[in-house]
Amino acid sequence: MSNYNLIEAYLDNEMSAEERRNFEQQLSENSELKQELGFQQELVAGIQEARRMELKAMLDAVSISGGSSVGGSALVGKIVVGLMLVGAITAGIYYLPGQEAVREYLPVADNHSEESYDDLVNLPAEEVESVEDAEEQAEPADATSSSSQVDQVTEEEPMTEVKVKEESPVVTKPNIRTPETIAAFDREEEALDSMHVPGNTRTEEKEPSMATIDVTVDNTRKKYTFHYQLKGGKLFLYGDFSSGLYEILEFNARKGKTLFLYFDGKYYDLNDDQERIVKLVPVKEKSLIEKLEEVRRD
Amino acid sequence: MKDKEIFERICSGDEKTLEYLYKKYYRMMTKMVISNSGSEQEAKDIYQDALVVFWQKAVSGNLVLTSKISTYIYSICQNLWRKELDRKKRLTNEEKDSIEYVEHDKQERAKIINKCIHQLGDTCRKILMYYYFDGLSMQDIADQLGFANTNTAKTKKYKCKKKLDELVKSQYTESDFLD
């Protein structure tokens, strides 16, 4: 058999144990054969890589109408307003007239209860109802579908579990103006999968498309008294923000994401890609302030 | 579609079902990466990689599913993302230059191989990919590509590989990789 055929048989696992031993013996003596084997292995690795890339490209071409900003255009005209209270979590949904949808969420402490939910957000009665409806629908289904196998896996993983109950309220489609945001997703099934997401609970309990910004307040650095930094999709606020409410206003438009911070009666523009820690500078432009005021009030 | 049906279709090499699966869990999987200090691009990349891993294992018949598909893919995502975070950490600690220098030649060769793979005809490319990546048997390849029997598939695979071998070697000589 030629070297080529030998190598081919070796790589394709078509050798008997004895043939294999012989071949490996030859390899240690014959550097040319060894080099040729290396080359053939590179070829196989190349074929595998090409196929991997081909499959990835195929997936990449699938349009995700789910509304995550990876898609970009799916977010046109959508405004997300995040209203944050230090150490607090819960979620609610609001509207803006026209094609803009505004969502708000009030984060509450980890051990938040249904009561704090109602206390913190003045949801119109009908919205509260629809939220509860969704919970009722989702829960029984959840109980029946979680198989013992999944439970086992859940136990093995030391990760925090996503609270399915928290997510399902957002499933209610009537609450969201941009229909394609969720329509293409089988949210009920998604909610039923008792998956667990590592990381802190605060981020997870937000509605998925809003989980784009994670805020950390750091009051321990003396050098930074009123500064911020946006790194890896996370917002870090340095200084004392305990004297009042701060709110993050997030605008998703065709050209990208714009963030504003509202604190103590002033608005601050947050540069989307601010890796360095810089001082927060209030927005001075009157028309912009008016616009922001309008959005925030809604 | 139920898990069982999805899994069966994927095992039989149905790429459309992979696309369906991709859409179905897109949000759930990317969220995990994003909430663990990943960018959206990274999240997408990890999720795609995880699905490709799942695909390869399923198609080659090396996977017996004991949990839900989503649970399985989710754990792949977690592992891949942990690995990526480790890699990033190492990269910032070590001298980047030296690594890149060593990798350079290898990357150049990989590029040439990739180019040659795409110079092959469709059938040849598919045979090699199905055989070496998807891990399909000669019978499966014959079925998928409509060959008369496994012998035809075998002969074709041999010829295609040989052709790629020659193509790459001629390109290597041009680029001085083989002296």
Q: From the CA of B97, how many Å to the nearest CA of chain A?
A: 23
Rama region for A147: left / alpha / beta (φ>0; ψ in -120 to 50; rest): beta
Does A95 fall in a domain? no
Those of residues 183-212 in A touching chain B at CB distance below 8 A are 184-186, 189-190, 193, 195, 197-200, 203-204, 208-209, 211-212
Does A116 fall in a domain? no
A102 has a pLDDT exceeding 50: no
Does A211 fall in a domain? no
Residue A41 lies in domain: 3-60
The angle subtended at Cα B63 by Cα B62 and Cα B69, nearest 5°, is 155
In terms of pLDDT, which residue wins out, B133 or A109?
A: B133
A162 has a pLDDT exceeding 90: no
The arithmetic mean of pLDDT across residues A160-185, rounded, is 43
| pLDDT tens for each residue of A204-218 | 333 334 445 777 787
Number of residues written out for chain B: 179
pLDDT at position B157: 95
Does A128 fall in a domain? no
The arithmetic mean of pLDDT across residues A46-63, rounded, is 94
Q: Hey, are the CB atoms on A208 and B27 less than 8 Å from each other? A: yes
Q: List, in order, residues 6 or more apart from B125 with CB less than 8 Å away.
A: A50, B117, B118, B160
| pLDDT tens for each residue of A140-149 | 444 344 343 4
Q: Which of A237, A234, A236, A238 is nearest to A223 (CA)?
A: A238
From chain A, the residues in CB contact with B36 under 8 A are 198-199
Share of chain A above pLDDT 90, in %: 18
Quote the number of domains for chain A: 1
* Mean of all residue pLDDT scores within chain B: 90
- H helices present in chain B, as ranges: 3-11, 15-34, 40-59, 69-93, 96-119, 122-132, 138-145, 150-174
From chain A, the residues in CB contact with B66 under 8 A are 149
The arithmetic mean of pLDDT across residues B81-105, rounded, is 78
Does A114 fall in a domain? no
Does A52 fall in a domain? yes
Q: Hey, are the CB atoms on B31 and A197 less than 8 Å from each other? A: yes
Does A35 fall in a domain? yes
| pLDDT tens for each residue of B34-56 | 999 999 999 999 999 999 999 99
Q: Which domains, and CATH codes, for chain B? A: 3-93 (1.10.1740.10), 99-174 (1.10.10.10)
Does A232 fall in a domain? no
